[in-house]
Amino acid sequence: MKFISCIQPGQFQMGEKEAPVPNAGEVLLQIKRIGICGTDLHAFAGNQPFFTYPRILGHELAAEVKSIGSDVTNIKAGDRVVVMPYLSCGTCIACRNRKTNCCTQMKVLGVHVDGGMQEQITVPADLLIVVNDLSLDQLAVIEPLAIGAHALFRAKLTAGETIVVVGCGPIGLGLMKLAQLQELRVIAMDVNPDRLSYAREQLGIEHVIIANDDAVQKVSDITKGDLATAVFDATGNKAALESGIKYMAHGGQYILVGLNKGELTFHHPSIHAKESSILCSRNATFADFHQVIDVLYSGSFPIESFITHRAPFDRMIDHFQGWLEPENGVIKAMVEL
């Protein structure tokens, strides 16, 4: 079978190897869709934390079950599944407290261990959710949407609150739409006017703001001086992460969804005066996945416009560099098998 490995920053290589055989408790999957996310782009660019080379990327996966190992009873060959790509230990303090998304021994497919950018892969059966009546495209966007769902869960907001989401990439856009469905008032912020146009025209986000020196005043104007009760950073950009606190109301929350490789600095008097709650949001849980599945069943998320670029598996390497270039207008790129 064929696989694609990122052997070093800026270089992919196509290879072939024997198809794996599922062990007890495992399932052999035929990969059908691979969503390309910021983690993959950062890994290719050489600025992804917790990463070593070579690595088979890919953790936004839609697949069909090819065969099952012994002791697998709830899944059968031919089932269409979404993969929960987070391998947790099940015994650490986080896992014991049902916070498997931040397991102390966390291994993410395509990051810490080889992922789904290959024709077939074996995974533990307990990482799979059978969803036979959604499309392959829908299955492949469940994981990135679940990231946004988990961030909203962390914030525990109530209908009518105003939030700012900084970053109109796939994670930020998904978070915005899920927030909108929870009756939150959303302000979208980005440096890219085309991304903001997408948020307004395709997601129905009323308030969109270019991230510049006037952004704080614009948030203030929209909220009649209150600012936002919650600010979500979905950029991972150091400057954006350090400035997001400025859009937050006194007594508000700042939720860091994007991940930066280095250190962050905040002016303590400023965050102290607001009695700021600064939260991090990592990965997602099965509850988040099921919430997103329900949203997709409802038809409330615009899959057709969200997936902007496609490439067959055999030609992915030729297209990948272009997906990094802002002028190409990529929101979500999808690899098809």
Q: What is the pLDDT of residue 93?
A: 98
Residue 16 sits in the same domain as residue 133: yes
pLDDT number for residue 261: 81
Is residue 83 included in any domain, yes or no?
Answer: yes
Q: What is the DSSP letter of 233?
A: E
Q: Are residues 200 and 87 in the same domain?
A: no
Structure tokens at 267: 């002016």
Q: Do 267 and 176 share a domain, yes or no?
A: yes
d(CA 212, CA 270): 19
Instruction: Give the CA dihedral 136, 137, 143, 149, nearest 10 degrees.
Output: -120
pTM of the entire predicted model: 0.95
Domain residues for 122? Answer: 2-141+301-336
Check: CB of residue 196 under 8 Å from CB of residue 131: no
Asked, for residue 292, whether it belongs to a domain, the answer is no
Cα separation, 69 vs 122, whole angstroms: 10
Q: What is the pLDDT of residue 39?
A: 86
Q: Total domain count for the chain?
A: 2
Task: Verify that 21 and 82 share a domain, yes or no.
Answer: yes
> What CA–CA distance (Å, rounded) separates 300 from 149?
14
d(CA 7, CA 253): 40
Structural domain contains residue 295 = no
Q: Are residues 322 and 214 in the same domain?
A: no
Pick from 103, 82, 106, 69: nearest CA to 34:
82
CA–CA dist 119, 337 (Å, integer): 7
Task: Write the pLDDT tens digit of every residue in 162-206.
Answer: 999 999 999 999 999 999 999 999 999 999 999 999 999 999 999
Q: What pLDDT score does 49 carry?
A: 72
CATH of the domain at 52: 3.90.180.10
Residues 53 and 170 in one domain: no
Phi, then psi, of 200 in degrees rounded to 5: -75, -45
What whole-number distance in Å separates Cα of residue 335 and Cα of residue 337? 7
pLDDT score for 38:
86
pLDDT beneath 70, residues of the chain: none
Q: Are residues 231 and 246 in the same domain?
A: yes
Number of helices followed by number of strands (H, E) in the chain: 12, 17
The answer on 332 and 218 residing in a single domain is no
Q: What is the pLDDT of residue 262?
A: 86
Q: 205 and 98: one domain?
A: no
**Does the residue 135 lie in any domain?**
yes
Q: What is the pLDDT of residues 118-139, one digit of tens each?
A: 999 999 999 999 999 999 999 9
Asked if 121 and 152 sit in the same domain, the reply is no
Estimate to the nearest angstrom the gap between the alpha carbon of 154 and the chain centroid.
Answer: 15
